């Protein structure tokens, strides 16, 4: 009995330490003024064996970091890396699971082992990061903490509903050249908005969701 209690106490301390570390890491990213660039750099540095896997990202950012994970996934989709066949569908599946967990109120991210092991090439990510440096820097200058009412719990829940629809659009839009760009930008707005508590980006995400879904309906066989 004492051993079981000790193990439980140690597990609680470890969980608390991880949560504190996650909060500190997010605070640093917000404070630097370069949320997108910093998050992408962190993802590259967190990789192992020449690949950037979801398991690496979850280990680095922590299992409570829905916003940063959404940012990284959206950047993958809208970058040239997103042109890899089937990749948008995999990303869409991950986002679907993440958004469903936000809707039902999960505080920690859970992904099946197969999804956690999904990875992209580290060198390709570094090359794209270098090429997109100026673009990311311009976007970073626009991100700031504001309109906090648009980042509150209700707004997060509504954003998760939108993310569910956006993840579904990834399947048909993969067949359309650059088709996943619009939902990818909307997901980026939601992810950055959640990370930096930027309500204006959250509102922009809601706005872009509408044409993204309508575009999917128009281009799908039943449209």
Assess whether pLDDT exceeds 50 at residue 88.
yes
* 30 or 125: which leads in pLDDT: 125
The phi, psi pair for 197, rounded to 5°, reads: 55, 45
* Domain positions in the chain: 2-219
Instruction: Summarize pLDDT for 7-30 with one digit per residue, the tens.
Output: 443 343 344 334 444 444 444 344
Q: What is the mean pLDDT of residues 93-116?
A: 88
Instruction: Summarize pLDDT for 67-84 with one digit per residue, the tens.
Output: 888 998 998 888 887 777
CB 172 within 8 A of CB 216: yes
Share of the chain above pLDDT 70, in %: 81
Tokens at 151, concatenated: 């980042």
Q: What is the mean pLDDT of residues 203-217?
A: 90
* 203 or 31: which leads in pLDDT: 203
Assess whether pLDDT exceeds 70 at residue 211.
yes
pLDDT band at 220 (very low <50, low <70, confident <90, very high): low
Q: What is the mean pLDDT of residues 160-170?
A: 92
pLDDT, residue 128, reads 84
Q: How far apart, in whole angstroms, are the C-alpha atoms of residue 23 and residue 132?
A: 27
Mean residue pLDDT across the chain? 79
Q: At what angle do helices 66-78 and 181-196 cross, to 10 degrees?
A: 150
Q: What is the mean pLDDT of residues 49-71?
A: 82
pLDDT, residue 64, reads 66
Q: How far apart, in whole angstroms, are the C-alpha atoms of residue 67 and residue 187?
A: 10
* 18 or 99: which leads in pLDDT: 99
User: Model pTM?
Assistant: 0.79
pLDDT, residue 108, reads 81
């Amino acid at each position: 009995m004492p051993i079981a209690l000790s193990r439980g106490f140690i597990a609680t301390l470890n969980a608390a330490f991880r949560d504190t570390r996650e909060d500190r890491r997010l605070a640093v990213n917000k404070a630097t003024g370069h949320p997108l660039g910093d998050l992408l750099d962190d993802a590259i540095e967190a990789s192992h064996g020449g690949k950037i896997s979801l398991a690496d990202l979850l280990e680095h950012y922590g299992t409570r970091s829905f916003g940063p994970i959404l940012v990284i996934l959206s950047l993958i989709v809208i970058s040239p890396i997103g042109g890899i066949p089937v990749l948008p569908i995999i990303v869409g599946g991950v986002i679907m699971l993440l958004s469903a967990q936000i809707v039902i109120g999960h505080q920690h991210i859970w992904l099946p082992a197969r999804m956690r092991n999904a990875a992209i090439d580290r060198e390709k990510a570094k090359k794209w990061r270098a090429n997109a440096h100026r673009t990311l820097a311009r976007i970073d200058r626009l991100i700031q903490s504001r309109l906090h009412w648009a980042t509150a719990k209700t707004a997060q829940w509504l954003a998760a509903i939108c993310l569910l629809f956006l993840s579904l659009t990834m399947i048909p839009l993969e067949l359309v050249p650059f088709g996943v760009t619009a939902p990818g930008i909307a997901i980026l707005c939601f992810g950055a908005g959640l990370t930096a508590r930027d309500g204006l980006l959250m509102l922009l995400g809601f706005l872009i969701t509408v044409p993204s879904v309508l575009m999917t309906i128009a281009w799908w066989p039943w449209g």
